[in-house]
């Protein structure tokens, strides 16, 4: 049976990810919804998710939602593409509050802006193997040609803060060489960690290739959902943001301030049980 949750417009928006990457979603939520409280949980003890089994990803995702519910969130944003690929339907069946993922917003935007109908997707191995992005793109436009590449080294590079190192550029060149041969004009960044590598990715694919950042798209979807819901769950008070991790708060705290571009007072370690 789904867990019944009471929702209040003053309650925060919950966001979870496997680690730091979901902060790209938080950053866009802060811009799009400056008065909303956000509770963020990064499962840093178990990052990355992209190499895990479907069963593990679903289990982790349900546990992450349970942590957010301790903070009485009014909705949950699944910032992790891997969790969105495998766990979203199960989460919606298990919990009775709005839960949205990053796949559909990113795919929709890519379909809207591609000019030559050749779209590339870079993501974790699990997300690529799920084919959820390709399925959604072809649902919207069956004539579009899609190519996908797993980039498993990108997440640890971002988690380490190595977003502007030469080694990162070298790895990006290796991963993206097939994208250039395929002549894509649109590239979906199918992991919330990847927008932090935009500079390196742009150098590799060239300025004419449009990069789709799902974080921006999902922030707009959240705003729309809160604005048009019958109970109008938007709020307009001074926001208070909470940051939780499952391991090593100090490292997260240091990098999170860099990624968000704002000071964070406190990061709390939070166990799943």
The conformational region for residue 86 under phi > 0 = left, psi -120 to 50 = alpha, else beta, is alpha
Angle (CA) 41-80-144 rounded to 5° is 160
On whether the CB atoms of residues 120 and 186 are closer than 8 A, the answer is yes
Cα(257)–Cα(265) distance, integer angstroms: 10
Decide if 270 is catalytic: no
Which residue out of 75, 191, 205, 211 is catalytically annotated?
191
Cα(59)–Cα(63) distance, integer angstroms: 6
Among residues 139, 269, 171, 246, which one has the least CA distance to residue 163?
A: 171
Number of H helices, E strands in the chain: 12, 12
Which residue out of 80, 87, 137, 209 is catalytically annotated?
80
- Write down the residue that tokens 């690929």 correspond to: 85
Decide if 151 is catalytic: no
Which active-site residues does the annotation give?
Answer: 80, 191
């Amino acid at each position: 049976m789904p867990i019944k949750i009471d929702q209040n417009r003053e309650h925060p928006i919950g966001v979870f990810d496997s680690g730091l990457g979901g902060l790209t979603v938080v950053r866009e939520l802060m811009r799009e919804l400056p008065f909303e409280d956000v509770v963020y949980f990064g499962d840093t003890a178990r990052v990355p998710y992209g190499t895990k089994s479907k069963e593990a990803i679903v289990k982790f995702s349900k546990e992450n939602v349970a942590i957010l519910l301790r903070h009485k969130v009014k909705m949950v944003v699944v910032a992790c593409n891997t969790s969105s690929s495998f766990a979203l339907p199960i989460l919606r069946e298990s919990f009775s509050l709005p839960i949205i993922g990053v796949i559909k917003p990113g795919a929709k935007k890519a379909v809207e802006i591609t000019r030559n109908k050749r779209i590339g997707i870079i993501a974790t191995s699990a997300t690529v193997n799920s084919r959820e992005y390709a399925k959604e793109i072809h649902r919207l436009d069956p004539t579009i040609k899609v190519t996908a590449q797993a980039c498993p080294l990108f997440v640890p590079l971002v988690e380490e803060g190595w977003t502007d190192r030469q080694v990162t550029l070298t790895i990006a060149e290796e991963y993206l060489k097939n994208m250039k041969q395929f002549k894509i004009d649109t590239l979906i960044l199918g992991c919330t960690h990847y927008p932090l590598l935009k500079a390196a990715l742009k150098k590799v694919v060239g300025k004419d290739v449009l990069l789709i950042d799902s974080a921006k798209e999902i922030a707009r979807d959240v705003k729309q959902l809160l604005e048009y819901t019958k109970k109008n769950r938007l709020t307009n008070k001074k926001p208070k943001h909470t940051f939780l991790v499952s391991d090593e708060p100090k490292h997260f705290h240091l990098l999170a301030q860099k990624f968000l571009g704002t000071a964070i007072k406190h990061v709390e370690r939070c166990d799943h049980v």
